[in-house]
Amino acid sequence: MHAAEGHVSQADHGSIGQAEGGIGHITRFQDGRPTRFTFQRRFDRVPHVQITPEYDPSVGFTRFWIYFLSNGGPAVDNEGFSLGVFNDVGHTIAFRWTAIDIIPRDHPR
């Protein structure tokens, strides 16, 4: 089997200006509203945020979707991020998150 080859169109090479991460929990609400997560310290610029769901062997496999969900504004900003989850109402999903601000080499400081 041969692997497919892809190309990136842009890469931010530079230094990490600020990084933060942790573990969060999100619960599906009846009305489907987003859940807001706030950073411990405000970022100078909007960071790149990555979400990784945690597998809980005691629950077994459950089909769900975690997604960035805005409530009229951007889903990620300098102060935090908003997520939505699609699964059964009342079901809670644990996830790990990472927020990183990469300062490009040619960025004026």
**pLDDT tens string 73-92:** 899 999 999 998 888 888 88
Beta carbons of 66 and 53 less than 8 angstroms apart: yes
Determine whether 83 is exposed, middle or buried from the number of CB atoms within 10 Å of its CB (0-12, 13-18, 19+).
buried
Give a yes or no: residue 74 inside a domain: yes
Residue at 73 is within a domain: yes
State the pLDDT at residue 83.
93
pLDDT for the residue 33:
84
Q: CB of 32 within 8 A of CB of 84?
A: yes
Output the pLDDT for position 5: 76
Give the CATH number for residue 90. 2.60.40.2080
pLDDT at 99: 95
Taking 50 as the pLDDT cut, the residues of the chain under it are: none
Domain total of the chain: 1
Distance, CA of 48 to CA of 70 (rounded, Å): 15
Q: What is the pLDDT of residue 81?
A: 95
Is 55 contained in some domain? yes
- As a whole number of angstroms, the distance between CA 73 and CA 4 comes to 37
In a domain, 10, yes or no: no
In which residue are the tokens 């497919």 written? 4
Tell me whether residue 109 is in a domain: no
Does residue 51 belong to any structural domain of this protein?
yes
pTM above 0.85, yes or no: no
C-alpha closest to that of 34 among 88, 77, 108, 86:
86
Going by C-beta distance under 8 Å and a sequence separation of 6 or more, which residues neighbour residue 78? 42, 43, 44, 45, 46, 47
Residue 1 lies in a domain: no
Q: Is residue 63, in this structure, part of any structural domain at all?
A: yes
Q: Which domain holds residue 41?
A: 15-104
